[in-house]
Amino acid sequence: MPPLSAHQLRLWWRRRVAALAVALLAAAALFFSLSRYAAAPPAAPKAPSYGHRLPTLVDITLVHAAKDRGAVCLDGTPPAYHFQPGFGDGSHKWLLHLEGGSWCPSFKSCANRKQTNLGSSAHMDSRAEFVGILSDDPSQNPEASVSGKQSWIELLSKGLARAKQAFLTGCSAGGLSTYIHCDDFRALLPKTPIVKCLADGGFFLDVEDISGRRHMRSFYNGVAQLQDVRKKFPRCSSDMEPGQCFFPREVAKAITTPMFILNPAYDVWQVEHVLSPAGSDPQNLWQDCRMDITKCNSKQLEILQGFRKELLDAISEFKNRRDWGMFIDSCFIHCQSMNALTWHSPVATRINNKTAAEAVGDWFFGRREVKEIDCEYPCNPTCYNAVLDRPYKED
């Protein structure tokens, strides 16, 4: 299977949305999209043709009224969204997507975002392309039809309150936000029969890096302290550091809404920023391995297999929840739901002959219980692996 090039990976990754300032994330950026489903087929989807049409382009809308509530981006510009209404039965089926973009753990790092699309609606694309899980092309997205983005509260008056199905999803930092806000979303829609959540590439691990430090925990300590979010996690043990409460392994324990975990076992972003972050590898011994998993030596592969085991251990307790689903492939990639190739295409990764889109569709519509756990790298020949030409960044 040909690898995913850096150009392909960054082409879809550059599409961001502006920060929505809410109580929990007022100093950081919460990125989101929403999509309304059109009528979904009752049967499992058939294999698609490879003739994808051009993606739908959706215009930006600024929420000027949000300024009165103090909900603004880091530079003071109003939050923005892209929204395409559904039609027919689809007008009552909604999908909201929280996009990635990391977090800012200090005032300085937050200030650095103010002149980018991670902190200003003035720097967002005037039109956004919707692919993968947000696509209205059945060959890319066999269960859904049309897409859009906007804030939850404003959407209630636009039909979200009357939704028959609601699906909150997120990618990367948006995936972590999905874990954090899943039950809040459920509570927002008490009359909606079906409310579920999906986190893509958001199961960040609290593990030691190659130098023996816990870089990611330190990073989340900064986020938690800056935004005073410890109170958001009342079930978190008082003897834990604030940053520990932020990890999905802890957050997910309290989630009661049905959740789907979509994650690669060898997450390219986590290999770069969690397992071998800057400063942990002064001799750059991991540089080639970070960029291309096929260039990892035997010792590095052994460490990567240990990283996979940490992920499987972390999600093991959630395998027993019948209304939860998971798709853990053995690929070297990050978010997979926002890319047509990795979400659902003839060359998409498969586990037990199912793409991620097919597995999620089976789970969401209750066609079967979905707990797909792939074998160790390099066992899966369908994997679409990233090959980077420079260090991987979210912005």
Residue of 61, 21, 26 lying closest to 150 (CA atoms): 61
Please indicate whether residue 7 is annotated as part of the active site.
no
Residue of 382, 386, 385 lying closest to 374 (CA atoms): 382
Handedness of CA 384, 390, 392, 395 (dihedral sign): negative
Alpha carbon distance 375, 395 (integer Å):
31
The one catalytic residue in 82, 181, 334, 344 is 334
The one catalytic residue in 35, 151, 172, 276 is 172
Task: Compute CA 182 distance to the chain's CA centroid, rounded to the nearest angstrom.
Answer: 13
The answer for residues whose C-beta is within 8 angstroms of residue 278's C-beta and 6 or more apart is none
Please indicate whether residue 267 is annotated as part of the active site.
yes
18 membership: H or E segment, kind and range = none
Distances (CA, A) of 383 to 209, 351, 375: 25, 9, 11
The answer for residues whose C-beta is within 8 angstroms of residue 391's C-beta and 6 or more apart is 272, 290, 291
Where helices occur in the chain by DSSP H, the ranges are 6-13, 107-112, 152-156, 173-188, 215-227, 248-251, 268-270, 287-291, 298-315, 340-343, 356-364
If one counts every other C-beta atom within 10 angstroms of the C-beta of residue 151, the result is: 20
User: Would you call 255 helix, strand, or coil by DSSP?
Assistant: coil
Please indicate whether residue 334 is annotated as part of the active site.
yes
Q: What is the CA radius of gyration of the chain?
A: 20
Residue of 178, 70, 88, 86 lying closest to 134 (CA atoms): 86
Residue of 327, 382, 334, 349 lying closest to 8 (CA atoms): 334
The one catalytic residue in 137, 200, 206, 267 is 267
φ, ψ at 326 (rounded to 5°): -155, 150
List, in sequence order, every residue forming a beta bridge with 176; answer none if it has no partner.
none
**Pairing between strand 259-264 and 194-200?**
parallel
Amino acid at 154: E
- Which segments of the chain are extended strands (E)? 4-5, 33-37, 56-62, 80-82, 93-98, 127-130, 165-171, 194-200, 259-264, 325-329, 371-373, 386-387
Q: What are the catalytic residues?
A: 172, 267, 334
